[in-house]
Structure 1
Amino acid sequence: MTAPLEARSLSLVRDGNAVLDNVSFSVAQGEIFALLGGNGAGKSSTLLTFLGFLQPSAGEVLVRGRSVHSDIPAARSAIAYLPEAASLYGHMSAYENLEYFLDLAGRSASRGDLDAAFERVALADEARSRRLQSYSKGMRQKAAIALALLRETPILLLDEPTSGLDPVAIDEFHDLVKKLASSGQTILMVTHDVYGACQVADRVGLLRRGKLVGSFAAEPGMRIDTETVHAAFAEREAA
């Protein structure tokens, strides 16, 4: 079966610097793959190549078996991207934000559809008509994922999704991501949070200075061992 996401010997050079160096991995349908690394490891650049914003210097990235740069609009139509800070409008309500962004995407949704999406992400009923300027970051993330659900994309890219969230909001977010994966969505997240990656991911890839230097997988019914990954992360970062 064709993997929804795949990087094949991906290399990226920017301003004479090697940002990514021969990186290869794939993410299966219904899988959560976490790309773990420190600042400057190349995590966000990897996501931007899948979105077609960065052109690989060598190798390629594929979305649903097709090279991204052979048809960038098709690749983007299959992906929902959640940046570290969700780009939603603070002066508009959650309902208004979703209606606006769906309209930009050439889609529409009934109030019932919107409420169903909000229910799936556990955004409280009383919050949906409030302006987002009153929202916590965790609530904004929920609204952004509700938008992704309504776009019905099979792939979700997450860029440092739990940065700045409190522990309760992090747990809620991880539970939501696991539910999305169990429903068949393919999820690639990049993070510097060792604990969070091990809690939520089926597999973790360790990225250091643009190279994929380690891979860790969960045993059936188990989580990835945090201490093992932390030791590898600390060793690589100190090297």
Structure 2
Amino acid sequence: MQDHQDHPTLAIRGLVVRRGARTTIDGLDLSVAAGEVYALLGGNGAGKTTTLDVLLGFVAPAAGDVRVDGLSPARDGAAARARLAYLPENVALYPYLNGIENLQYFCALAGIRMAESAARDLLLRAGLQAASHNARTGTYSKGMRQKVGLAIAHAKHAKAMLLDEPTSGLDPAAANDFAQRIRAAAQAGMAVLMATHDLFNARQVADRIGILRAGRLVAEFDAHAVTHEALERVYLAHARESAVGEAA
């Protein structure tokens, strides 16, 4: 794992986000280096998706500095997004187009011309079996749609990938396969930030794990050093504190 403090691909310093009178992100410091997978754990309302939206340039910070490969998403959103791949919980594809056609279409939107042979190679690299390439994506499972999303990320030569609840709804075999694909993307030099509820997958795929509560990073772990039991204990303790705070 590379030194995440030395010119990280994703860098967040002192981030504050407000929605009206409510502070949703409160002084967040977080960085992800090339070749690293960072899992951001937290319950609903913790601020995980808002953090991703700031990196995408969809939400403006009230304070702090945010960089994507050195660019500010708030000031240069299009250029910053060109360096990012984003996989939401449910990857939206055109259901009447097949896998190759979807990949070619989304590449064209990014100004990339994609030959059919190159599209097939990228889909195979992302784990989509050749027999599915010509099938309409309306017939795809969630895991298959995610693989098209991964192929788009590789086609863009994205510097970083943002994932929002990527394993929600996947069976254990599909979740394990997806984890291997994410590790391969990181090993190829991509920085990966994954927002998730899934403690098991976080330990399986990540290098570092952070716990976000009420917009604050309240704990951080080396994923290879923390046990599942210790991670679960800390995560549940913060979840209980959040519940008590909301009730009060």
| 8 Å contact kept, 1:205–1:216 | yes
Give 5+ residue unaligned stretches, structure 2.
1-5, 242-248
Q: Which runs of 4+ in 1 moved over 6 A?
A: none
Q: Distance in 2 between matches of 1:83 and 1:147?
A: 13
Higher deviation after alignment, 97-106 or 18-27: 97-106
Q: Distance in 2 between matches of 1:226 and 1:57?
A: 35
Match of 1:231 among 221, 230, 233: 233
Q: Which amino acid aligns with 1:160?
A: E
Q: CA deviation at 1:15?
A: 2.4
Match of 2:47 among 42, 60, 76: 42
Q: Distance in 1 between matches of 2:105 and 2:181?
A: 24
Q: Distance in 1 between matches of 2:20 and 2:61?
A: 13
Q: Distance in 1 between matches of 2:23 and 2:219?
A: 19
Corresponding position: 1:82 with 2:87:
yes
| 8 Å contact kept, 2:69–2:159 | no
Aligned residue for 1:34, secondary structure, equals: strand
Q: CA deviation at 1:73?
A: 1.3
Match of 1:133 among 119, 126, 138: 138
| 8 Å contact kept, 2:71–2:79 | no
Q: Distance in 2 between matches of 1:95 and 1:165?
A: 23
Match of 2:179 among 167, 174, 182: 174
Aligned residue for 1:139, secondary structure, equals: helix
- 1:52-67 aligned at under 5 Å gives the runs 52-67=57-72
Aligned residue for 2:74, secondary structure, equals: helix
- 1:1-239 aligned at under 5 Å gives the runs 1-218=6-223, 222=224, 224-239=226-241
Q: CA deviation at 1:154?
A: 1.2
Q: CA deviation at 1:223?
A: 5.8
Q: Which amino acid aligns with 2:233?
A: A
Q: Distance in 2 between matches of 1:237 and 1:73?
A: 36
Q: Which amino acid aligns with 1:114?
A: A
TM-score (normalised: structure 1): 0.96
1:67-100 Cα distance to aligned partner (Å, 9 max, x none):
2223111111100110011011111100111111
| 8 Å contact kept, 1:202–1:224 | no
Q: Which amino acid aligns with 2:239?
A: E
RMSD: 1.1
Give 5+ residue unaligned stretches, structure 1.
none
Q: Which amino acid aligns with 2:32?
A: V
